[in-house]
Amino acid sequence: MSAEKTAPAPAKNDLFKQITQGPGLVSVLGVIVALIVGGLLIAVTDERVATTAGYLFARPSDFFSALWEAGTSSYVALFEGSIYNSAQGFAPFLETLTVSTPLICAGLGVGLAFRAGLFNIGAQGQIIIGAAMAGYVGFAWHLPVVLHLLLVIVFGLIGGALWGGLVGLLKARTGAHEVILTIMFNYVALYLLDFLMNTQAFRRPGETNPISPILDTTAVFPALPGSRLHVGFLLAVLLTFGMGWLLKRSTLGFELRAVGHNPLAAQTAGVNVQRAMIVAMALAGALAGAAGVAQVAGTEKVLTAGIAGSLGFDAITVALLGRSTPWGTFFAGLLFGAFRAGAVNMQISTGTPIDIVLVVQSLIVLFIAAPPLIKAMFGLNPKKKKIQAAAAATQGGAQ
């Protein structure tokens, strides 16, 4: 009777397990398959491929070479725009690091919340509020060097933490689902920023477009000469280390992980679950806020209504690919950052729209979330075969 009861709790909807436990091989294969699908998509929409397809049977070699060329030339351009090319050397890689910075920070934010059992779709809103507060401190206040940047960072983190913490508070107090709350808070933040950008306090004097004054030079991250790479990247590295320590070695991390797996057991063991949720969401928000800081005080140096782009949603895919571990997220952020950076070059040199990155990115996440699918594609599923064989044997025996 209690075979069910005492057996390991079924991995039913164990979000966490899904995110953290997957063989590395599947991840690599997932990335490859996604890239192939993306390449095919580029190829089939290529004009030359379409033309050669017209005389496919007359000269099939033309078609296939066009197909190959269309797919590969885009990826070559992607590589040259993100890692290395003969003209610029490794300069593109610096751009990749720049683009990765906010992705890593926000990805850590989503990942940290995951680890505490919370699905933080709200990085977008947290980035917006963080960037707005950091940006305001950066252009409206005029302070000495170092102190100014420090305050920009602190206010950015606080902004994100408030926006995230508010969700945590509502969830803890009312039991409302954080997915719904964060989605709604994203839009509230979006319109709030839109509103702010049209006020005297935020809009650049003499400007009718929603764009802020440029941040003071004391308020921005120092950049590496000749590139856009700024010190914000070091902040991302620091935060990755910080999250590693928090999860592995701190009592707070123990609490958050316990709540993430089993809030009832955590509560019975004396953890204040409500507080843990609020803290987790506030910390997640602060990390997303750091992404906002990196954007406004590093890459853009000015606050606009579109400051967050689609970073908040990309961050979710980053955290998923990184399986919510600090360094997994870090490298996933680098990978997607490389896609982003390279896509710009790809669009210029081969005309492939940047949107292909979204396609590849989402396919990667889908594939790695469903290891059986990838395994089936590569015939790596011996277990399933065994079960089928066993089932066949049983049926044979019954007849």
Partner 1 sequence: MKLELRGISKAFGTFYANKGIDLVVDDAEIHCLLGENGAGKSTLMNVLYGLYQPTEGQILVDDQVVDFSGPGDAMAAGIGMVHQHFMLIPVFTVAENVALGAESTKAGGRLDLETTRRKIREISAKYGFDVDPDALVEDLPVGVQQRVEIIKALVRRARVLILDEPTAVLTPQETDELLDIMRQLKANGTSIVFISHKLREVKAVSDQITVIRRGEVVGTVSPQADTTELASMMVGRSVSLSLNKEPATPGEATFQVRDLSVIDEAGTRVLNEVSFDIHRGEILAVAGVQGNGQTELTEAILGTQPVSGGSVQLEGKELLGRSVKQVLAAGVGFVPEDRSVHGLVSQFSIEENLILDLYDRAPFAKGLSMNLAQVRKNAAEQIERFDVRTDNALNPASSLSGGNQQKVVMARELGRELKLFIASQPTRGVDVGSIEFLHRRIVAERDTGTPVMIVSTELDEVIELADRIAVLYKGSIIGIVPADTPRDVLGLMMAGVSADEAAAQHKNQGEGQ
Partner 2 sequence: MTQPAVLPTTVVAHSVGKKVPLTLSIFAAIVLVCFGALGSTASAHFGLSSAGDAFTLPELVLPGRISNLIIGLFMAGIAALAWVRRNQARPLGRGWIIAFAALFVLSFLIWVVSGARTPSISLAGLLAGAAVLAVPLVFGSLSGIMCERAGVVNIAIEGQLLGGAFTAALVGSMTQNAYLGLIAAGVAGALVSLVLALFSIKYVVNQIIVGVVLNVLVSGLTGFLFTTVMQADAELYNNPPRLPIIEIPGLSAIPILGPILFKQSVIGYLMYIAVAVVWYALFKTRWGLRVRAVGEHPKAADTLGIKVNATRFWNVTLGGIIAGIGGSFFTLVAVESFTKEISGGRGFIALAAVIFGRWNPIGAFLAALLFGFADNLQVILTIIGTPVPSQFMAMMPYLVTIFAVAGLVGRSRGPAAVGEPYLKE
User: Could you give the CA distance from residue 144 to residue 125 in angstroms, rounded to a whole number?
Assistant: 30
Least separation in angstroms between CB 365 and partner 2: 5
Tokens of residue 345, six digits: 């070059």
Strand, helix or coil for residue 46: coil
Binding mask 255-274 for partner 1 (x = CB under 8 A): x-xx--xx-xxxxxxxxx--
14 binds partner 1 (CB under 8 A): yes
Judged by beta carbon distances under 5 to 8 A according to partner kind, the member of partner 1, partner 2, none in contact with residue 185 is partner 2
Amino acid at 31: V
Judged by beta carbon distances under 5 to 8 A according to partner kind, the member of partner 1, partner 2, none in contact with residue 61 is none
146 binds partner 1 (CB under 8 A): no
* E-only strand ranges, 148-228: 211-214
Among the listed residues 5, 12, 175, 199, the single contact to partner 1 using CB under 8 A:
5
Judged by beta carbon distances under 5 to 8 A according to partner kind, the member of partner 2, partner 1, none in contact with residue 262 is partner 1
Least separation in angstroms between CB 187 and partner 2: 4
Residue with tokens 């209690």: 2
Least separation in angstroms between CB 176 and partner 1: 17
Residue 175 CA, chain-centre distance (Å), reads 26
Strand, helix or coil for residue 283: helix
Question: By C-beta, is 227 or 267 nearer to partner 1?
Answer: 267
Window of 3-11, 41-49, 95-103, 198-206 that interacts with partner 1 by CB under 8 A:
3-11
Window of 12-20, 84-92, 138-146, 197-205 that interacts with partner 1 by CB under 8 A:
12-20
| Interface ranges with partner 2 (CB under 8 A) | 10, 12-13, 15, 18, 41, 45, 47, 119, 121, 170, 173-177, 179-181, 183-185, 187-188, 191-192, 194-195, 198, 272, 274-275, 278, 313, 316-317, 320, 352-353, 355-363, 365-366, 369-370, 372-373
Give the helix/strand (H/E) hosting 335: helix 326-350
Question: By C-beta, is 10 or 397 nearer to partner 2?
Answer: 10
Backbone angles phi, psi at 182, to 5 degrees: -70, -35
Strand, helix or coil for residue 223: strand
Residue 137 CA, chain-centre distance (Å), reads 26
User: Could you give the CA distance from residue 236 to residue 26 in angstroms, rounded to a whole number?
Assistant: 27
Give the residue among 341, 339, 335 at the shortest CA–CA distance from 322.
335
Tokens of residue 65, six digits: 């070479």
Judged by beta carbon distances under 5 to 8 A according to partner kind, the member of partner 1, partner 2, none in contact with residue 339 is none
Cα-based distances in Å from 98 to 221, 292, 303, 322, 335: 12, 13, 17, 19, 12
Q: Report the DSSP beta bridge partners of residue 214.
A: 302
Which 280-339 positions form the footprint of partner 1 (CB under 8 A)? none
Q: Which residues bind partner 1 (CB under 8 A)?
A: 1-9, 14, 16-17, 249-252, 254-255, 257-258, 261-262, 264-272, 390, 394, 397-398
